[in-house]
Amino acid sequence: MARVALVTGGTRGIGKAISARLKADGFKVAANYAGNSEAADATAKELGISVYKWDVGDAAQCAEGIAKVTADLGPVDVLVNNAGITKDGLFHKMAQEKWDEVIRVDLSSLFYMTRPVIEGMRERGYGRIVNITSINGQKGQVGQVNYSAAKAGMIGFTKALAQECASKGVTVNAVAPGYIDTDMVAAVPEDVLKKIIAGIPVGRLGKAEEIAHAVSFLASDNAGFMTGATLTMNGAQYIAG
Ligand code: CAA
């Protein structure tokens, strides 16, 4: 029986590439999305996957959404916590709303999404949790105190939960992309982005498909001995110890 993979933010950007990769790997794929129904419908058609709309920063919506995915496809074997937002700005000018919103969507969502699936994974003795963090959770980034804090929090979550689940066949890992060619990165002011790319030794932005290949490995049966890890993929922009 094909395993079930649920990818949050799985209809655009890195998430779409992950959905495509996991579908090609033979998973039954459910992709969650928050708002852009047009893109979601197009992705559903293009990839032949199921898409579900809910806000990953809302506990009740997550519980309801996961119940629907489970009823439609079966229990979730692989959860990719990919959905995320930025609300950049210098901290000394940052409104609390920008802090609250990024922590809610990027970090609290890990609780809301993972808590409803973890007991089933433990009982079945199999599960794969993959959290998409960021280079900026590892090194910090000017203009992203909120995002850097949330993304660093995801790494702590990954390390702690990995230890709790290690004996139950459930692995928990993180992937830390650098600057990838997506809408999110395209929103960075052009002059700032130019400087950022100049600081990437590989000399270019990363591709969403490159990140998806790493997730594909972590989601596979072959990755059973890898847990608690953070896979850094950033073109050597920042080499985490
Ligand atoms: N270190 C310290 N200070 C810096 C700096 C640096 N590297 N770069 C700029 N600054 C300071 C400047 O000196 C200036 O300070 P003063 O006001 O005292 O002169 C100030 O920052 C810049 O002023 P601006 O008027 O330009 O500030 P702004 O509010 O318009 O914009 C910003 C600032 C929001 C940080 C903007 O530069 C920006 O958006 N930067 C990009 C941040 C970024 O990399 N985001 C990543 C998005 S993609 C993503 O998040 C995906 C992923 O995971 C990688």
Q: What share of the chain is helix, strand, coil (3-state, %, to 5)?
A: 55, 15, 30
Nearest CA among 231, 213, 238 for reference residue 171: 231
Gap between the Cα atoms of 218 and 5, Å rounded: 12
Res 1: pLDDT? 85
Confidence of residue 23 (pLDDT cuts 50, 70, 90): very high
Cα(69) to ligand 1 centroid in Å equals 39
pLDDT of residue 9 exceeding 80, the answer is: yes
The pTM of the full predicted model, rounded to 2 decimals, is 0.96
Res 57: pLDDT? 98
Cα(115) to ligand 1 centroid in Å equals 35
> What is the DSSP secondary-structure string of 211-224?
HHHHHHHHHSGGGT
- Over residues 5-9, the mean pLDDT reads 98
Tokens found for residue 91: 């901290």
pLDDT of residue 241 exceeding 80, the answer is: no
18 CB-side CA count, 13 A: 33
Cα(210) to ligand 1 centroid in Å equals 27
As a CATH number, domain 4-233 is 3.40.50.720
- Over residues 170-182, the mean pLDDT reads 98
Instruction: Tell me what the pLDDT averaged over the chain comes to.
Output: 97
Q: Which residues line ligand 1 (CB under 6 A)?
A: 86, 88-90, 134-136, 141-144, 147, 179, 184-185, 188-189, 192
Between residues 240 and 205, the one the model is more confident about: 205
- 8 A C-beta contact, residue 146 and residue 108: no
Tell me the pLDDT tens digit for each residue of 101-159.
999 999 999 999 999 999 999 999 999 999 999 999 999 999 999 999 999 999 999 99
Tell me the pLDDT tens digit for each residue of 195-218.
999 999 999 999 999 999 999 999
Res 233: pLDDT? 98
Q: Whose CA is nearest to atom 53 of ligand 1?
A: 134
